Structure formats: C-alpha cells, structure tokens
C-alpha cells in the first residue's frame, strides 16, 4: 500500500511539474540602438532602396524583431525593435544587422533618421532620388 501511494505521488509530481509554458519562453520586445548604417547616396524613382542597419542588442538572445517607422512627407524616422527569446543568454552586447527597404514614389531628397543612443540621437541618411 505504501509502495502504491509512493508511485502515485511520483506520477502526480511529474505530471504537474511539466507544462507547455515552461517549454516555450516568452518573447520580449525592446527598442535597440542603431550604431551604424550603410545607405546609397542616390536612387531611382520606383526602385527598392536597401539600407543595411546595424544595431546593438542586450545579450546573446537578442535578434531583429521589426522596424518601427514614422513618415512625414520625405522624412522618415526609423527605430529597431529587438526581440529577446530565451532565459539563459550570454552577457555580451552583440551587433546585429537588418535590412531596411523602401521604394520612393517621386523624385526629391529623402531623409532617413535612424534612432540611436540618447547621446547620439539620430544617424541620418540623405538619399537623392531621381527619375529614371
């Protein structure tokens, strides 16, 4: 009887100790400072313009999540939102790379303002867009 009670207790302990919530860690999202960009100086109307964006995450679990973009006319403010998944991460501050793409619809001077650290403010790229 004691043996049966002991086995039942172990089964109950193991069954209640495992859950799907423990298996999949929550994903956190936080803004990440942009440290450098590589953008062309000129482009053509209607073509896709790609800008390489380098940003710093806080730990080895950090990776690119999304771009937070606010546009007004030909000026665009871009912020990187990094996502963090995992519970055990390295304590380094790695630099990651993502590609921002936009397609200008009309000629003119476009200003892209990439959010950096509070000390730096913005990293600015100016792209002159010409007709084909």
User: Which 3-state string (H, E, C) describes 78-122?
Assistant: EEEEEEEECCCCCCCCCEEEEEEEECCCCCEEEEEEEECCCCCCE
State the pLDDT at residue 6: 56
The CA distance from 11 to 13, in Å, is 5
In a domain, 9, yes or no: no
For residue 23, which phi and psi values (nearest 5 degrees)?
-75, -35
The count of domains in the chain is 1
**Between 37 and 6, the higher pLDDT residue:** 37
CATH of the domain at 122: 2.60.40
- Which has the minimum average pLDDT: 20-24, 46-50, 70-74, 128-132? 20-24
- Its pTM stands at 0.78
> What is the per-residue pLDDT across 72-104, written as a single tens digit (0 to 9) for each?
999 999 999 999 988 788 888 999 999 999 999
In a domain, 17, yes or no: no
Domain, as residue range, for 57: 25-130
**Between 48 and 87, the higher pLDDT residue:** 48
Token pair 């771009």 is at which residue? 67
H helices of 18-89, in order, are 20-23
């Amino acid at each position: 009887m004691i043996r049966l009670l002991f086995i039942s207790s172990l089964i109950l302990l193991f069954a209640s100790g495992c859950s799907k919530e423990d298996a999949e860690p929550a994903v956190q999202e936080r803004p990440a400072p942009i440290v450098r960009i590589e953008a062309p100086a000129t482009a053509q109307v209607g073509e896709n313009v790609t800008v390489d964006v380098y940003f710093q995450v806080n730990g080895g679990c950090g990776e690119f999540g999304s771009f937070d973009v606010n546009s007004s006319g030909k000026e665009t403010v871009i912020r990187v939102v990094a996502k963090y998944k995992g519970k055990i991460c390295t304590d380094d501050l790695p630099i990651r790379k993502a590609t921002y793409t936009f397609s200008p619809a009309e000629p003119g001077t476009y200003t892209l303002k990439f959010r950096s650290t509070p000390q730096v403010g913005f990293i600015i790229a100016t792209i002159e867009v010409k007709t084909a």
